[in-house]
Chains A and B, each alone.
Chain A
Amino acid sequence: MRHLTRQVFNSGKFVVGFSIFVGILLIVIIYPILFPYPPLEIIGQGNFFPPGLYVNVYDSIFTSHYILNLDDATANRIASKLDSEDRLAIQKWLTASGFPESEIDIENTAQLLDQWTNNFDPTKRFPGMTNADRNYFIRLNNSLKGLLSTEGAIIAVENPETASLEEAGVVAQNDYIVVNEVPNVRLLPLGTDNFGRDVLTELVAATKVSLIIGFVAGSIATLIGLILGLLSGYIGGQVDDVIMFFTNLLTVIPSFVLLILISFSIGQEQRGAFTIAVVIGLTSWVWTTRAVRSQVISLRNRDHVNLSKLSGHSISYIIIADILPYIASYVVMALILQISSAILAEAGLSILGLGPRTTEVATLGLMLNWALIYQAPILGYWWAFYPVIIVIALIAFSLNLMNTGLDQVFNPALRE
């Protein structure tokens, strides 16, 4: 046994797959302990807030300000306000007024503004310039002046007695705060989803639920497949005929179609995560049965089984002691594949809206479903679906890698 464990952990593929899987498992266990946020709490008003560090504005005004004289502060501020359309308009005016085109760099905000303020003349007219164009350039100039102002902003507080505004402080343009001193800061590494929920917290909770669904469905499928395969393979005869009839029947019908039909007929109210896991388990045992059966058939005429029979052991003892240990490695591999395919099946079912009941519990498939319904892929809110896809891919990848690694250990013909 110890020898086998060492052999398994010597397989590079298995170790890589195992590390990824254990990593995911650890994150799922540790993250809720470190950040005990309720996973489905709606924190954002509005949908799809971008990822980033959210600092409370009110708190940041009333925490102590530090003056930092940084050269590029103004340029950065203007750069963030000046969109590409305005930049192109500036370039157009400058070239029309005879400024050499090679000296204009629309990416260099400071230089561009410098050229604009030094050269702009609202009275200047060019051939082909309409009044509307001229008014546009004048408006642009005014807005740039506003950007370039060095005045601070006054903060006013309403006096509850007189209902008049009183100055509470001035925020200068070179005032800074330290994020650590602001009492209310929330990091949303993956932003929020369509309901305004923290995607990362939700993703961890969803991964946990999806893994549980995978384990439950995989175990049910493997157990059913194992029992039917053992009975069908060892007893044979009419038992085999009956079991194989149903197995073949289910092999022909694609299990995903069956899954959709069952899931639909259960109805929205009864569809919890556990029900879906059971349904997935009940529809995916077919291949395990066939594989176990063929393994058992090859084992049942071996001499050690005959010897066990001659020693007077019962059928159940022979199946448990003489057949099961020989196919145990195979069953473990089948279980790993079943877990992986159950997680994928849940995701597929949930994308169609037939997964567990919506908004009560998050699963990886449901997160994709929500992102899809609220058009996140079209509107470019990548944080709502890319991380989910990556987690699903990582889980499936790690499980399949573990399976391949085990296959190489147990089947020496596949070793490199």
Chain B
Amino acid sequence: MADERKLCLSGTGITKVFGIGRNKTTAVNHVDFNFYEGEIISIVGESGSGKTTLAKMLLGLINPTEGEIYFQGVKRDISSHRKKKEYWKNIQAIFQDPFSSYNIFRKIDSVLLDCIHMRGGRGLPYDQKVELMTEACRFVNLKFDELTNKYPFELSGGQQQRLMIARIFLLKPQILLADEPTSMIDACSRATILDMLMQLRDEIGMTPIFITHDIGLAYYVSDTVYIMEKGEFVEKGSADEVILHPKEPYTRRLISDVPKIYEEWDLSTV
């Protein structure tokens, strides 16, 4: 079955060690994975289990101590700035805290213009750029006219996260790493944001990777779930398999930690 699908991101023996000597901490310990195109992946684990470190390595923001990451079956090369830029056209991210994700000294249009320039639209006439930005904002239910000359911190958390999705809409990457995209947002906006991400996935055909501590959310959105404990994948498989028939005690504990009200909300959406 695995051979029929196209590999989009895979890794072998990925390890990240912080510190030296006695202060040595192994954040990610010899992790192997194969992410296929088209599936929705979730990496679930509690705080400090190494999920964000893994995400940063996948994004190329930090280099793994050991191991190789393959992009579409080819060994990833991000040795120079130009190659990194090329790589980042294919993989993008949404961060956990929208309030700290933006440079507070830059206006919203410049954030969106960066994305257009990244897609090679530097030479486009300004009208066309505005059109693209307006379209992206419309997609996430924001009004571009009201956002020009505003700073990101003037928006609410949900609006900022939606702006982040508008960025992804403009960039059209093949892989989206969503690092706890909804953990700082209230429950109402949470569903909206997840719906938007799913809609975006259908529209541009990207592979989303959710990184979350919320196993309910993982079950709600994903096809494949990876459970991470202390830097290692302890269990992986389809969402139904892992969550409804957990093998590992750690997974069972994660599931039992979910508040009751979540379970009902999750089950009702199945």
Query: What is the bound-complex CA distance between A304 and B92, given in angstroms?
Result: 14
Measured CB to CB, the nearest residue on chain A to B59 is: A310
Measured CB to CB, the nearest residue on chain B to A313 is: B114
- Let me know if A321 and B114 touch, CB within 8 A: no
Which B residues are CB-close (under 8 A) to A161?
none
Which one of B97, B102, B103, B114 lies within 8 Å of A312 (CB-CB)?
B114
Which A residues are CB-close (under 8 A) to B104?
304
Q: Does A322 contact B (CB under 8 A)?
A: yes
Measured CB to CB, the nearest residue on chain A to B113 is: A311
**Contacts A303-B97, A306-B95: A314 and B81 contacting too (C-beta < 8 A)?**
yes
Query: What is the bound-complex CA distance between A303 and B96, given in angstroms?
Result: 9
Q: Does B254 contact A (CB under 8 A)?
A: no
Q: Does A155 contact B (CB under 8 A)?
A: no
Which A residues are CB-close (under 8 A) to B95?
303, 306-307
- Let me know if B101 and A304 touch, CB within 8 A: yes
Which B residues are CB-close (under 8 A) to A307?
93, 95, 101-103
Q: Does A29 contact B (CB under 8 A)?
A: no
Which A residues are CB-close (under 8 A) to B81?
314-315
User: How many residues on the B side are at the interface (Cβ–Cβ under 8 A)?
Assistant: 25
Contact with A along B86-107 (1 / 0, CB 8 A): 0011001101110011111110
**Contacts A306-B61, A309-B61, A310-B88: A322 and B103 contacting too (C-beta < 8 A)?**
yes
- Let me know if A306 and B103 touch, CB within 8 A: no
Q: Does A325 contact B (CB under 8 A)?
A: yes
Which one of B59, B97, B105, B114 lies within 8 Å of A311 (CB-CB)?
B114
User: How many residues on the A side are at the interface (Cβ–Cβ under 8 A)?
Assistant: 17
Query: What is the bound-complex CA distance between A313 and B88, given in angstroms?
Result: 11
Query: What is the bound-complex CA distance between A93 and B150, given in angstroms?
Result: 94
Which A residues are CB-close (under 8 A) to B93?
306-307, 310
Q: Does A308 contact B (CB under 8 A)?
A: yes
In chain A, positions 307-340 with a C-beta closer than 8 Å to chain B are 307-315, 321-322, 325-326
Give A33 Cβ to nearest chain B Cβ, in Å. 40
Which B residues are CB-close (under 8 A) to A326?
105
Which B residues are CB-close (under 8 A) to A145?
none
Give A292 Cβ to nearest chain B Cβ, in Å. 18
Q: Does B5 contact A (CB under 8 A)?
A: no
Q: Does A125 contact B (CB under 8 A)?
A: no
Contact with B along A5-22 (1 / 0, CB 8 A): 000000000000000000
Q: Does A302 contact B (CB under 8 A)?
A: yes
Query: What is the bound-complex CA distance between A245 and B106, given in angstroms?
Result: 35
Which one of B59, B92, B100 lies within 8 Å of A302 (CB-CB)?
B100
Query: What is the bound-complex CA distance between A314 and B88, given in angstroms?
Result: 13
Contact with B along A293-304 (1 / 0, CB 8 A): 000000000111
**Contacts A303-B95, A314-B81: A308 and B118 contacting too (C-beta < 8 A)?**
no
Which B residues are CB-close (under 8 A) to A322?
103
Query: What is the bound-complex CA distance between A66 and B114, given in angstroms?
Result: 86
Query: What is the bound-complex CA distance between A314 and B114, given in angstroms?
Result: 12
- Let me know if B105 and A321 touch, CB within 8 A: yes
Query: What is the bound-complex CA distance between A332 and B81, given in angstroms?
Result: 32
Which one of A304, A306, A312 lies within 8 Å of B85 (CB-CB)?
A312
With A311-B118, A321-B103 already in contact, 9 other A-B pairs whose C-beta atoms are closer than 8 Å: A303-B96, A304-B100, A307-B93, A307-B101, A309-B84, A310-B59, A311-B111, A322-B103, A325-B103
Q: Chain B: residues with CB nearer than 8 A to chain A?
A: 56, 59, 61, 81, 84-85, 88-89, 92-93, 95-97, 100-106, 111, 114-115, 117-118
Q: Chain A: residues with CB nearer than 8 A to chain B?
A: 302-304, 306-315, 321-322, 325-326
Q: Which 5 A-B pairs have the closest CB atoms?
A: A311-B114, A303-B95, A325-B105, A303-B101, A312-B85
- What are 22 A-B contacts with C-beta separation under 8 Å? A303-B96, A303-B101, A304-B100, A304-B102, A304-B103, A304-B104, A306-B61, A307-B93, A307-B102, A307-B103, A309-B88, A310-B92, A311-B88, A311-B111, A311-B118, A312-B89, A312-B117, A314-B81, A321-B103, A321-B105, A322-B103, A326-B105
